[in-house]
Chains A and B, each alone.
Chain A
Amino acid sequence: MSVWFTYSLGDFIPFSIETYRAAIRLYGEENMLLCGLSLVAGLGLIFCARGYRGWGLRIGLVILAMAWLHGGLGFLDTRLLPLIPQIEPARWLFMTEAALLLLCALGPVGPCADGVSASLRWRGLLILAFAVLNFGLGTGIAPAGVPIGGFGILPDPTAVATLAFLLICRGWARLILMIVPLIWCVFALLLLMGMDAEPLRVAMPIAGIACALMALAAWVDRTSGGSPLDALGRSDDNNRGGQEYRDDKGEDPPWN
């Protein structure tokens, strides 16, 4: 038997859930203004996600890029990396994600949500609201009444909000943009499970992973004409087959 099988998940986590909660609380108390701004930005993101194309979705990508930058340079750098320096590469992944989001937001072909099934869209919006409005999952409210530890502050809700926002878009570009948040959600899930974190907190990365899987299933459906969801009887009525999304030249633009 490999020596790796003798480890438990908790053996890899060098701090306790109490320390993790305290790190979030302290960061929030030190950055109350940013917490407030992040909440406003998150609400703006939900508003942007209401549209199907145009500037709203582009602005949404910009908001997400800013959230990743702040998540990468803020909480991760000052609170999480000192506790677990082994995840230093995450910093560069966050930067990459922010750069890609900005590139897509400012690119010639903007994001598009036309033709995305209604059920997928609603799932995306609900998970987006969960990521933005979780209020730190019980981490607390700072003395000024600002919820701490939410979207744009912690990597977890930022990653989940990104995945949910991309779920309501279409095209292969979103799958590229989903890679980093998905990696983070898998890591966060293992981290939280290893610390025996409360179920609601663990639910956050699970929601993100679910977004990525739903997006992948929809993409498979679009490109192959059949979806794993069909077999489960959960395919949406509005799904009209992959060829509907291709342009006149038969090419496959990033957001179409």
Chain B
Amino acid sequence: MKRLFAILCGCSTILLTGCTDIRSRRYADILAVTSGKEYSASLRCDGEETWYTAAAAAPKLLPTALENELGAQLSMGHLGLLMLQGDTLEPLTALLDDGQLVPTCPVLLCPKTSQVERFVDSNLAAQLQRSMETGLLPRRTVGDVYGDLRSAARITLLPCLVEDALTLAVSDGAQTLAILSEDACRGAALLCGRWDHFAFVEMRGASPETIRLKSCKCKLHMEQKGERLVLSVELSPEVESGDAELARTAVCRMLRAYFQEAVTDCAADACFLEETALRCGISIPDTAAWRALLRDAEIQVTAH
């Protein structure tokens, strides 16, 4: 009797593990969310070419609207790219809090969602992935962006498309504050430090030289002198190929460009400056005061 009971329990549990449910689910590959008077979403499922579009009054309702459009349960657990246009914080908060988005999904700020299909045809997700691996852009995922927008400065960095080229935008979740130069993008990638091979071309006189870094250690130290923050960055690039001196000059320039364009111009804190300040015994005031401190910060970059 007991065995029969155990077998029945076991079988029922296995039946409830949802094999049939999982088979009938549709898995999103790319999702594009546009915010305006109402929110609209375009979705492409894994292994399909068709795009499904739905609109809703709030971003939280978008998955249900998309499910109605698809006529099946939707899973975004394997989402390869999230494209956002306009408001960033609202859809991210709604989808992440609802458990719809995975924090490891790459995110991209997109100028016009009407052109989504064209971007996808040019294999944008793979292009973005390559840029992150080669240190052209820092690795920015849904979790990173959301974490930054909830931190003291509440300003983040987002990969974005400008005239078909991938670059980095500074955003406060509602609007784009600035677009970073190529040097600043590489500086951010250096600080984030999650690239596979960092290669770039530098001019030595009139001839170009390719420099490849093996690794680059960044040590950050912060101290408060009066009303001003002094941020010192020590770089130790290890060169795999190319001239070491040229490499040191270039990485210093890239980092200075990043701090100038993102931190002192826009008060962005995407590379754990808040945590560095706490580590160095500097208390973080409110958002406005922290932004003011970052804007007024003195940056010292050295390379060994």
- Chains A and B are bound partners: no
